[in-house]
A = this chain, B = another copy of it.
Amino acid sequence: MKIRIESFVELCHEKGIKVTQQRIEIFKAIVQAKDHPDAENLFHKLRKKLPTLSLDTVYRTLWVLNDLGVITTLGSSRERTRFDGNLSHHHHFVCNRCGLTSDFYSDELNSLKVPDSLAELGNIEQTHVEIRGTCKTCINKVFKQIQSDKSSKGSRS
């Protein structure tokens, strides 16, 4: 834990982000929480330590932590509820950049063997594999970005 905080502080320095008491406490709270809390949960927990903390700071800080890559969100958040009319057993490829979610099929993945320890958590109804990455479209965008950066910085010295 101490190590995670230290490396977090270091990362903030690297990125030129200020290390505030709020950020440290919010970071500690989300790392220690094992229940995937939402912003309001954390806000209530933290208010005991930081009585002046505001909810919008919690939101802002969580997205900062997410952008730094030191926490993640459940589901591809920051989006509205999306619905799926595909009832056949399928899996998802989700683009980390644009949220595009494509179905794919795999008999092998359909019959995944899961650890026995799961029986302790409850009974299993479906298993589903979510693969995250960068979709073709976004790869192209990034590629073009790099190209234009190169040419604007001037290649001929």
Contacts and interface: CB of A to CB of B under 8 A. Distances in A.
User: Chain copies in the assembly?
Assistant: 2
> What interface size band does chain A fall in?
35 or more
A3 interface: no
Interface string A97-127: 0000111101011001111011011111111
Interface in A124-157: 124-136, 138-139
A93 to B, nearest CB: 5
Contact of A36 (B37, B101, B117): B101
Interface string A54-95: 000000001001100011111111111111111100001101
A21 interface: no
Contacts of A125: 96, 132-134
Interface stretch (A11-19, A25-33, A45-53): A25-33
A81 B77 contact: yes
